[in-house]
Amino acid sequence: MGLIGYCIAMGAHLSLSYCIDTYTDFGADVVVATMCIRNTMGFAIGYGITPWTENLGYQNAFLIAAAAGLLQVLIFLIMVKWGPQIRERSTDRYRRDVDRATELGITH
């Protein structure tokens, strides 16, 4: 249970921090999108946990959940290795999106 809680908290924090630091012009949009996903997952897990544990048992269900959360958090290794190249390749698209949002008047 502790590993699941840690992975959920760190997964949301890491992704939110990365997106805000990398795409500063869309910081508010990133926060809203991340919170919507987090809250939806919180509802889905709470709603589906009873049938899941009844079918698999507590141990297997929570081991799978902990492993999935740990894999989510370990994505940072991919971002450390290939993150700079991903950001470099997406720079033109990001600037185009910022310019379009500025023209529409929906930036901060």
57-90: per-residue pLDDT in tens?
999 988 998 888 788 778 888 888 998 898 889 8
Count of structural domains within the chain = 1
Q: Taking the model in full, what pTM does it have?
A: 0.58
Q: Which domain holds residue 20?
A: 1-104
Query: What integer pLDDT is reported at residue 81 of this predicted model?
Result: 92
Q: What is the four-CA torsion angle of 11, 64, 77, 41, rounded to 10 degrees?
A: -30
DSSP of the chain: -HHHHHHHHHHHHHHHHHHHHH-GGGHHHHHHHHHHHHHHHHHHHHHHHHHHHHHH-HHHHHHHHHHHHHHHHTHHHHHHHHHHHHHHHTHHHHHHHHHHHHHHT---
